[in-house]
Amino acid sequence: MIYDPWHLWAIAALILLIGEIFIPGMILGCLAAGALGGMAGDLFGLAWEGQTIAASVTTILSFIFLRPFAMKHLFHGEGLKTGVDALIGKTASVTTDFNSKSGFGRCAIDGDDWKAKQESKETTLRKGDTVKIVAVNSNILIVKKP
């Protein structure tokens, strides 16, 4: 079976797009766009040199224009927070009264007991109070009254 060059460009584009599914980042997607540019070059009757130039130019242009646009719209957001960063914004229960001078006490969250410090010392937190975690400094929770 004899393949026209545009068949090979189309197969290359398809393989690269399938690879993009497994390796996200729009690298293979931009190369697939370049393969489509090479296919278009063949359909316009260019020789293999022209097809290669069309594929190269299309690839470069897609890296310059398509990839930043796709990365901005496909991979936006803060992502999944893990570890102590996941605690920020959650509520905790005070397990030990906070010292009015130092501002330190202890809080329980998700079954773990943490050393905590009040964000402001306007009121003293007592055992059983509910607090909101606003930050984490090393292994000390910074909390405030919700």
Minimal CA–CA distance to 30: which of 17, 46, 47, 18? 17
> Which of 34-48, 61-75, 112-126: highest mean pLDDT?
34-48
Q: How far apart are CA 40 and CA 61, in angstroms?
A: 15
Q: Quick check: 24 pLDDT over 90?
A: no
What pLDDT shows up at residue 34? Answer: 98
What pLDDT shows up at residue 100? Answer: 85
What pLDDT shows up at residue 80? Answer: 76
Structural domains present in the chain: 5-74 (no CATH), 83-144 (2.40.50.140)
- Contact indicator for 113, 121 with CB cutoff of 8 Å: no
Across all residues in the chain, what is the average pLDDT?
Answer: 92
Those residues with Cβ within 8 angstroms of residue 146's Cβ, 6 or more apart along the chain or in another chain? 91, 130, 131, 132
Which tens digits make up the pLDDT trace of 56-114?
999 999 999 999 998 888 777 767 778 888 899 999 999 999 998 899 999 999 899 99
Phi, psi of 24 (to 5 degrees): -70, 160
pTM of the model: 0.56
Q: Which two tokens mark 60? A: 């470069």
More confident residue, 140 or 80: 140
- Work out the average pLDDT over 5-25: 95
Q: Quick check: 116 pLDDT over 90?
A: yes
Q: Quick check: 50 pLDDT over 90?
A: yes
- Contact indicator for 89, 131 with CB cutoff of 8 Å: no
**99-106, long-range: CB < 8 A, 24+ apart:** 100/124, 104/140
